[in-house]
Chains A and B, each alone.
Chain A
């Protein structure tokens, strides 16, 4: 029971790694930094594995397992303890985060080998692992918020890792500030949560929520408000509409950072939070619908932008936003398990895609523009094959991982308890687009003839410490879906059975399904077929446009010039935000808050006090004029005062 009693060990290991590397690592050789950085995360992963083993031996009554370590905030009735919670959902997340994190740490030893600030990178990366694990294991929403903010901080530090480059520093600030907008909603949600339930602890909240009636679509109550506010935090952190703008800019950071933080873990925190709060969401159908709509809209919107991007990492960034939209769509239609499942498979294949893209960039000596690549298939075969596997996974070809997860989401959107066929349609169209832009990426990068000068760029395969994680993730992208394959595919649906206790309340509250069990199965088969068909359509169009007739894209862009310009410039959203939000705020800050309040009021008061003291002193010192007659007069004044006082006292005494 070692780890169950001492859950904090899992957190302490990466924190120690961050501290050691951060404080001492500056003069160490890279091997020492690696030993600490990678070592702490591997130890963390091993302890997670041990935790899983201990957890599976627990009897059912003790789940969820909560351990409270010290009381943190006590203010009146507001108690927050630093407590950690382990249940099936957190186990899934812990495994995903720690394993993918470990692989990316190993990858970074190769990718960042020639970069300055090596120790700083691993320190921040370890710190990120600490905060992410805190977020996942939190037993109350305030500790979760600590992790939430902490990963935001590490994201800022890592995006702006090359801080001397202005675009990187700006991107870091943008990420932090945009997510801050969402975090404001999140904070208000926490306040409402405390106000409604009197506690911030998940156990207490869910227990009380179980006794509350579900709110209806017609009327929003307190639960809807709480859920919507919490969801705004997720909109920021998980880059949904309209707060997604920071994620493409975040590609300024090193590729391992993009893989870990902006694909596999941090951005999924929003999904995890929604899934964790499912007892509340299930009782607030308006909030669920909002989540589903935002998710579906983002999935489609972002996929359209990804169609036209030239930078390989930007395509993957928009793809991430799109896939996160799928996860929220799943949660919004009540299929929390499907959402988490897709989160896990997405960590595998998106992490792999980013790492492989990093491998391509490394091979190309830093080039990220796909239009300057081409024909890399034979030169970097391992990278090519792993990337191809990941692409097949993301587009949803069976039997790769993405097929099962995406398919389940679409099925739930079509025929689940909270089904909405429009949302299903949107998700289907987004799937076509996903397939198209992913295969476009593969064809542009690896096929055709090289569009670069082969004499100046020496394309070489990456070293083993970069390739090994690619291979491992490729294996997981292949077999990862088999955990949750529904029964009629031959699988045991182990995943959903495992998570069932966490999402137990959802099915009870859901409206009854319209169709019977067997009808559902055949429907699912039909929908799966539709999904695969759609993926194939995307593949063919991409093949046509980029292999068969390479001049087709340019022609299409010319004929749809207006639309193309709009999409290539990301619908000018950044520019709109800058004009409508950023500039007025800057004006307000400068002219009002700075000049009027800070300089005028605050400085004025402080300086004014100083001036007042000075003037008063200046006036007062003139009393000491040096003129003895003045002094004599003052003495007389004093004497008069004393005698008057004596007389008054004497009169009183006589009376």
Chain B
């Protein structure tokens, strides 16, 4: 059996990351934007695991572990903020959160 070349995983990671960026720029719902961020993080995780495999080292996996932990913490706090914003602005449209301007 021939194995899948690592570059395939990396390309997939790049595609997922790019899609995440597109969603980040285009969607208007705050929660959806947040989910796009999570998608980007996942893409990066995939890249880390692929590289860990490529170099036969476990350091990449350790890093993925930490990324997941941080993503969890960030999701918790971030969603708390989202709730607060939703209560304050009565809307989940990010374009309505526009007070920080000149």
Residues of A near any B CB (own CB < 8 A): 621-622, 624-629, 632-633, 636, 639
Q: Is the CB of A626 within 8 A of B99?
A: yes
Q: How many pairs of residues, A versus B, come closer than 8 Å at their CB atoms?
A: 32
Once A621-B102, A622-B102 are accepted as A-B contacts, the answer to whether A628 and B24 lie under 8 Å apart by CB is no
Query: What are 14 A-B contacts defined by CB distance under 8 Å?
Result: A624-B102, A625-B98, A625-B102, A626-B98, A626-B99, A626-B101, A627-B98, A628-B94, A628-B95, A629-B25, A629-B28, A629-B94, A632-B25, A632-B33
Chain B positions within 8 Å of A627 at CB level: 95, 98, 101
B44 interface residue (CB < 8 Å to A): no
- Contact flags B8-40 to A (C-beta < 8 A → 1, else 0): 000000000000010011001000010000000
A625–B94 CA distance with the chains assembled, in angstroms: 13
Please report which residues of chain B, range 86-102, place their CB below 8 angstroms from some CB of chain A when the two chains form the complex.
Answer: 94-95, 97-102
Instruction: Tell me the bound Cα distance from A628 to B29 in angstroms.
Output: 11
Nearest Cβ on chain B to A638's Cβ, whole angstroms: 12
Closest to A621 in B: B102
CB closest chain-A residue, reference B27: A629
Q: Which residues of B sit under 8 angstroms from A628, Cβ to Cβ? A: 94-95, 97-98
Cα distance A632–B33 in the bound complex, in angstroms: 10
Contacts of B28 in A (CB 8 A): 629
Q: Flag if A629 contacts B95 (CB, 8 Å).
A: yes
Q: Contacts A632-B25, A633-B25, A636-B21 hold; do A624 and B94 have CB atoms under 8 A apart?
A: no
B98 contacts across to A, CB distance below 8 A: 625-628
Give Cα distance in the complex from A633 to B94, angstroms.
13
Give every chain A residue within 8 A of B97 (Cβ-Cβ): 628
Bound: A622/B25 CA distance, A = 19
| B100 CB contacts on chain A under 8 angstroms | 624, 626
> Whole-angstrom distance between the alpha carbons of A583 and B28 in the complex?
74
Q: Chain B, 67-102, contact with A by CB distance < 8 Å: what is the 0/1 string?
A: 000000000000000000000000000110111111
Which chain B residues lie closer than 8 Å to A632 at the CB level? 24-25, 33
A626-B98, A626-B99, A629-B28 known; 16 new pairs, CB 8 Å cut-off, are A621-B102, A624-B100, A625-B98, A626-B100, A626-B101, A627-B101, A628-B95, A628-B97, A628-B98, A629-B94, A632-B24, A632-B25, A632-B33, A633-B25, A636-B21, A636-B25
Residues of B within 8 A of A622 (CB): 102
Residues of B within 8 A of A624 (CB): 100-102
A639 CA / B102 CA spacing, docked (Å): 25
3 closest residue pairs by CB, A with B: A626-B101, A626-B98, A621-B102
Rounded to whole Å, the gap between the CB of A478 and the closest CB of chain B is 91
Chain B residues in 8 Å Cβ range of A629: 25, 28, 94-95
> Which residue on A lies nearest to B102, using beta carbons?
A621
Tell me the complex Cα distance, A636–B98, Å: 19
Q: For residue B26, which residue of chain A has the nearest CB?
A: A629
- Distance in Å: Cβ of A385 to nearest Cβ of chain B: 90
Q: Which residues of B contact A636 (CB under 8 A)?
A: 21, 24-25
Contacts of A639 in B (CB 8 A): 21
Report how far A639 CA is from B101 CA in the complex, Å: 23
